[in-house]
Amino acid sequence: MAKPFFQPSAIVPSSRVGSTGGNAGAARNRRRTAGLAVFLLMGTTVLLVAGCAGDATEPTGSVGDEAGKATDQSEKPFVLGDLIEPFDPPKLDALDADAKWTDQPVLDSMQLLRERQKGEKPLATVKEALALQNTSTEANDKILSALGRLPESDKQVNWDAVVVRHSLADVKSMNPLMVSSTTEFDVSGLMSFGLFGFDWNFRPFASKDSVVSWQTSEDRMMDKVVLRDDLTWSDGKPITAADVVFSFKAIMSDKVPVPAVRSGTDKLRWIEAYDDRTLVFFHKEPLATNIWNLNFPVVPKHVYQESIAEDPTLQDSPYHVKLENEPISGGAYEIVRRTRGREIVLRSRESYYMHEGKQVRDKPHFKEVRFQIKEDPTVALLALKKAEIDELQLTPEQWTTQTGGGDFYNKNTKAYGLEWVSFHFGWNMETVFFKDIRVRKAMSYAFNHEEMLNKLLYGLYEPSTGTFHKTSRWHPKEPQEVYKQDLDKAEALLDEAGWTDHDGDGVRDRQIAGQTVRFEFSILCNNDPLRIAICNLLKQNLDRIGIVCNVRPMEFTVLMEKTQKREFQAFFGGWGTGADPDTSENIWGTGEGRNYVGYSNPEVDRLFKEGRQEFDVEKRAEIYRRIHKLLYDDQPYTWLYVRNSFYGFNKELRGYNFSPRGPYNYGPGFSSLWKPVQAQP
């Protein structure tokens, strides 16, 4: 099969299997001959962490509590919005008299896609595309061109259709404020209410489904939004400006564990609801990122205003546990049932698109959306081949060796596209092992990157050198050199850092505070074959230079909890992109909530601040390029690879289009998917 070739994007963005392996003696002599044939069987990957705070998804380690804080907050009384500084907003009349407002776009993302597709001539008919096998860039282009189109009329759509999506893991929470994984973003995106979105080019806009008008003051210190008057929650109560204000205050409450959505939201000074429909967002500074800080999940005030004080976790009390199974929806879908560990079923909500007997928004293309949880990638692929699920993100092995025959193409096709997702080993810099930059660099030199890329990943993915994707404007124009295995350099760095084999047992050690500390650590990973294989490759590589690495696979939710609490020495994880480079500050900023590895560089902190204050597009991009370079120099992660989107789709499915956030997490994303009245052909 021809290797997929990804052209640079035109995007202009505005985001212990086994124990130690026994005696590691004579590691230097053994290291040259170790093999890896045993690790060629692998499974699917899913993002562990999503770096998308402040945009419509976020995404794949995890997102969670303010990890690493030693102080106990349990004795402090709960105060809603206690992280917000007091502010007395002006009256609306006085504000309007003084401010000079500029209209901002209020758009329908589906209409944007329709307009784009008007200028795109299909490269093949539907019949031709469904007959193709995806073995070349040309075939891929034809499949996407023909099958990615929206319906030409409502008569083509099977409005009673059910779409069954695959999920690698269960959701931890159904509360949109608490989302922490790809699945949670996928589910929450269908059920939650929001004011803003962005398209495949990361162009931000207010959603026409929710907003009448959006204006920004000339000094960039205020945004005024007027809501529609036909918005309701699934319990029949109206959605008002008060819900937005309440959600802002909940996010900005110290005891509510939501650092993902707090990042960016904390840059807002205040939000004032002047009536049920009129909101004014007040900013602390005129920043280039203010446009993104408006975008956070909204929950119903009448549901949480009393319970949040009793249980600020929004998860532990019986009331909140009940809401986990019966959440109130503000989006196009509402929950039907949830069987933990197996399935989440949503149905389209008539009260979303109908109001007082009139259709006021687009009717969702599917009557029902089912998320089937299948942790075993082999089981998931079998379900796709049997048409028990409609879509599946394929592993490199599945794409290359398991989806080329009639058993796959009988009911499915497949397609790929660019996606800005990178994976890494994260090193806890607060441990005795990885606080030394020389040790972190030694880890990167010790790992066999080429074996991972060519054998485990089948040559489909590309190496990563840092936090920004090479096709984004934020990536350095002169890219850093890709790390390659060099065991001599790794050993020299470890020797220089004082990690040598003092007692002759084959394992490096060092004297710390009068104690001999062996270089033996554990790396955590999600419990799937590919991640285990990659970590086992690291284990084998390190064994050859006198370091013991214990691989500890675990359930996804357990892994999330441990990374959030920094209960790890190293972990395998990944990040998807945010809609703006500033969203990664909460990964790299000193003391930030998703800075799981404890990284701190005052220059990086300064540059993030400078980047928010710069409005010139090219000057701003150069700031983030410098951040990328500094992170590369410091190696808080060993960056491994960037994962493009490789998907299998049932032949009945239409309307899938790819973006740097994959096929779903942008506007319109999932909303563009549909099934025809009759399968074609």
Strands 570-576 and 520-526: parallel
Distance in angstroms (rounded) separating the CA atoms of residues 335 and 173? 13
Domains of the chain, earliest start first? 27-66+420-642 (3.10.105.10), 92-107+169-373 (3.40.190.10)
Q: Residue 534 pLDDT > 80, yes or no?
A: yes
SS3 22: coil
Q: Residue 14 pLDDT > 70, yes or no?
A: no
Closest CA to 295 of 578, 66, 610, 62: 578
| Residue pair 588/604 in contact by the 8 Å Cβ criterion | yes
Distance in angstroms (rounded) separating the CA atoms of residues 265 and 248? 8
Closest CA to 49 of 538, 588, 487, 630: 588
Distance in angstroms (rounded) separating the CA atoms of residues 99 and 216? 9
State pLDDT tens for residues 164-203. 999 988 888 999 999 877 788 899 999 999 999 999 999 9
What is the length of the chain? Answer: 681
Closest CA to 62 of 258, 266, 320: 258
Q: What is the mean pLDDT of residues 450-461?
A: 97
Mean pLDDT, all residues of the chain? 89
State pLDDT tens for residues 649-667. 999 999 999 999 999 989 9
State pLDDT tens for residues 613-628. 999 999 999 999 999 9
Q: Residue 671 pLDDT > 90, yes or no?
A: yes
SS3 143: helix
What are the phi and psi torsion angles at 74 (to 5°)? -65, -25
CA angle 316, 321, 326 (to 5 degrees): 155
State pLDDT tens for residues 45-56. 223 333 333 333
| Residue pair 575/547 in contact by the 8 Å Cβ criterion | no
Which pLDDT score is estimated for 75? 72
Residue 626: Cβ within 10 Å count? 15
State pLDDT tens for residues 397-426. 999 999 999 999 999 999 999 999 999 999
Q: At which residue do the structure tokens 């973006």 appear?
A: 659
| Residue pair 433/518 in contact by the 8 Å Cβ criterion | no
Closest CA to 148 of 555, 589, 654: 654
Closest CA to 169 of 149, 189, 186: 186
Residue 668: Cβ within 10 Å count? 22
Give the range among 96-105, 433-442, 464-473, 555-564 with minimum mean pLDDT. Answer: 555-564
State pLDDT tens for residues 346-386. 999 999 999 999 999 999 999 999 999 998 999 999 999 99
SS3 586: helix
pTM for this predicted structure: 0.84
| Residue pair 205/110 in contact by the 8 Å Cβ criterion | no
Distance in angstroms (rounded) separating the CA atoms of residues 498 and 510? 6
What is the band of 74 on the pLDDT scale with cuts at 50, 70, 90?
Answer: low
